[in-house]
Amino acid sequence: MNNVIEYLPHGFCIAWNPQLLAMHVISDLLIAIAYFSIPIGIVYVAKRRPDAELQPIYYLFAAFILACGVTHVMGILTLWVPLYYTQGITKIITALVSVATAIYLLPKLKHIMALPDLGKLTQINSALAQEIVSRRQSEASLRKSQELALQAQKTQAAFLANMSHEIRTPMNGVLGTLDLLLDTELKPEQLQLAAASKRSAASLLSLLNDILDISKVESGQMTLRHNPLEISEVLADVEAALSFDAQSKKIELQCSAGALPSTTYLGDSVRLRQILLNLVGNAIKFTDVGFVKVSCREVSRIGQQAVLEFTVKDTGVGIAPEHQKNLFKRFTQVDNSSTRRAQGSGLGLAIVKELVELMGGQVQLKSALNQGTELVFTLKLVVQTPIETDAGKRLAELAVVAPVTGQFRGKILVVEDAAMNQMVVCKVLERLGLESRIANNGQEALDLLAKESFDLVLMDGQMPVMDGYEATKSIRSGAVPGVNQNIPVVALTAHAMVGEDKKCLDAGMNDYLTKPLDRSKLIEVLAKYLPEV
């Protein structure tokens, strides 16, 4: 009320001219309405596009514009009511908001000016769209490459499987006939020639096994056994297997486990034997004078895990430093010339490295030209806890199996389509005291089983008319009249790829043998199902 008594409304200054008064009121009202509506849009934008750097500016501008709108409303009111103190307060608030906005805005101008304009934003958006398209194309190309790689891997696996089958089938005939020949009475010269032929055939088979092992490692299908492992027995086997080669070159071969404690380890004896045969065979190949010595010692033991160190040392030609780095690479040899002193595929040492690393170890090489070579590798093996009780000893005694004599009683059906393999297998069975009949395919096998009585079936896998898998499923189904569905069926196949044994067992076969036929393994399997003489 003091404002009313002390001052006059400034509308009196306009002498209450209706037109002039309307002009001021309408213009201030429109400005106020605009000022009040603009902050709503600013706040909406600020919430829709949250930017930590610019968001405070949005709200300061909204407050500044809102305060300006209030000052215009006060301008209208003071036409009739002299609220000059209130109008002054609103102007002070507006001034404070304006100054705060300016103070906050000035340091941010550099950042705001750095923001791209609409044209640049359009270019960036276009570039991002192109990048997205490019990445989608790359992803599609990558998927296609992966599909091609998978297809190539399948093709490679199929090729290796077929190659294995096609090579093993005639190799069975070669090794089988040589074994049969060596069992006969031969003149010394004939015996020497037959033995040399067998060694060459065994070398070819070893090369095939190396290629298959590399394929298994690449596909991650290489598996290790964890059975009781007698290191001394493995070393003795290696020495016996390579003693002829060492004696023929008049060099000393020693494979000793004397430094090992009397402990039984758990590991894969087959793969350890393969590693040592590769390394020792290689050492003998490149040693003309002196010795090849193999030793083994336990370097550490933590709990039930032990680390064993094997050393293969020779007095051979040695390896130059520049060649040592490539020694364990696939298909690589120190001497690749046509006049090199030793032949080979260059896979042996690569497989050694893969197997050692698969068994938790490492390979190290020390060598110099004309000073010999020392190759050291380690393996991590689990220590088997011995059973020392009297009950355990009695169980061990009961578990001893009488040696197989190698002579059996029974009638065997040989299901095989290759004439050479038919002859070899039947001759081997004959020498084991067994009678045999031949079926050229699965269908013939079913017909013979329905007519005659057999004690066991040796079943090939890949055959015309009906393969061995389908024939075995038919036997197990019991749907063929007169066929004993429980007759033992043992696979004898040239397929040796990973998973083939499971495929045979899934078809209903009892056991699995590969070609070339190993007589000792055949005897071991026959002993499970046939009576001995």
Considering the domain architecture, whether residues 421 and 379 belong to the same structural domain is answered as no
Confidence of residue 220 (pLDDT cuts 50, 70, 90): low
Q: How many CA atoms lie within 13 A of 80 on its CB side?
A: 6
Q: For residue 398, tell me if it sits in a domain.
A: no
Name the residue among 52, 43, 89, 90 with its Cα closest to residue 68: 90
Domain boundary among the residues 386, 420, 450 is at: 386
Q: Are 350 and 328 in contact (CB under 8 A)?
A: yes
Q: Closest Cα partner for 458 from 499, 424, 407, 496?
A: 424
pLDDT by residue (tens digit) across 176-186?
Answer: 788 888 888 88
Q: What is the pLDDT of residues 471-501, one digit of tens each?
A: 999 999 988 999 999 999 999 887 766 667 8
pLDDT for res 514 = 83
Q: Which residue has the higher pLDDT, 230 or 509?
A: 509
What is the C-alpha to C-alpha distance for residues 232 and 297, in angstroms, rounded to an integer?
11
Work out how many domains the chain is built from and give that number.
Answer: 3
What percent of the chain lies above the pLDDT cut of 90?
Answer: 23
Q: Based on the domain organization, do 481 and 515 belong to the same domain?
A: yes
If asked whether residues 306 and 437 sit together in one domain, one would say no
Domain hosting 238: range is: 226-386
CA dihedral 128, 132, 138, 139 (to 10 degrees): 150
Between CA 509 and CA 491 the distance in angstroms is 7
Assess if residue 496 is contained within a domain. Answer: yes
270 pLDDT above the threshold of 90:
no
Residue 344 has pLDDT above 50, yes or no: no
Contact yes or no for 425/492 (Cβ under 8 A) = yes
pLDDT at 404 over 50: no
Residues 380 and 499 both lie in one domain: no
Q: Among 264-273, 340-349, 375-384, 499-508, where is mean pLDDT lowest?
A: 340-349
For the domain that residue 514 is a member of, what is the CATH number?
Answer: 3.40.50.2300
As given in the structure block, the two tokens for residue 195 are: 């033995």
**Does residue 237 sit in the same domain as residue 378?**
yes
CATH of the domain at 283: 3.30.565.10
Tell me the CA distances in angstroms from 238 to 75, 151, 232, 234, 464, one per residue in order. Answer: 111, 40, 10, 6, 41
Give just the sign of the alpha carbon dihedral 123, 124, 129, 130.
Answer: positive
The answer to whether 295 touches 314, Cβ cutoff 8 Å, is: no
Confidence tier at 350 by pLDDT (50, 70, 90): confident
The whole-angstrom separation of Cα 498 and Cα 223 is 9
Q: Helices 419-431 & 118-182, crossing angle to 10 degrees?
A: 50
Q: Is residue 493 part of a domain?
A: yes
Measured CA to CA, the distance from residue 206 to residue 512 in angstroms comes to: 20
**In terms of domains, do 268 and 349 share one?**
yes
pLDDT at 99: 86
Query: Could you tell me if 172 and 421 are in contact, meaning their C-beta atoms sit under 8 angstroms apart?
Result: yes
The answer to whether residues 351 and 482 belong to one domain is: no
Rounded to an integer, the average pLDDT of 15-25 is 76
Q: Are residues 467 and 500 in the same domain?
A: yes
Could you tell me if residue 467 is left (phi over 0), alpha (psi between -120 and 50 degrees) or otherwise beta?
A: beta
| Residue 372 near residue 293, CB atoms below 8 Å | no
Instruction: Identify whether residues 279 and 380 lie together within a single domain.
Output: yes
Strand partners, 392: none
- Are 233 and 379 in the same domain? yes
Long-range contacts of 240-245 (CB under 8 A, 24+ apart): 241/277, 242/277, 242/280, 242/281, 242/284, 245/281, 245/284
Mean pLDDT of 424-440: 92
Q: Can you give 486-525 as a three-state secondary structure string?
A: CCCEEEEECCCCCCHHHHHHHHCCCEEEECCCCHHHHHHH
Does some domain include residue 147? no
Does residue 404 form part of some domain?
A: no
pLDDT score at 490: 95
Cα separation, 394 vs 48, in Å, equals 84
Confidence of residue 440 (pLDDT cuts 50, 70, 90): very high
- What is the pLDDT, as a whole number, of residue 401? 41
Same domain membership, residue 283 and residue 244: yes
Please check whether residue 364 lies inside any domain of the structure: yes
Tell me which of 90, 114, 138 is where a domain ends.
Answer: 114
Query: Does residue 348 have a pLDDT over 50?
Result: yes
Range picked from 237-251, 379-393, 447-461, 484-498 for highest mean pLDDT: 447-461
Residue 205 belongs to a domain = no
H or E element at residue 361: none
Within a domain: 154: no
47 in the same domain as 13:
yes
Rounded to an integer, the average pLDDT of 224-252 is: 86
Between 292 and 53, name the one with better pLDDT. Answer: 292
The token duo for 355 is: 């197997």
| Cα gap 172→114, rounded to integer Å | 80
pTM for this entry: 0.50
The domain boundary residue, chosen from 57, 80, 114: 114
The H or E element spanning position 319 is: none
pLDDT, greater one: 17 or 271: 271
Give per-residue pLDDT as tens, 373-392.
Answer: 999 999 999 888 654 444 44
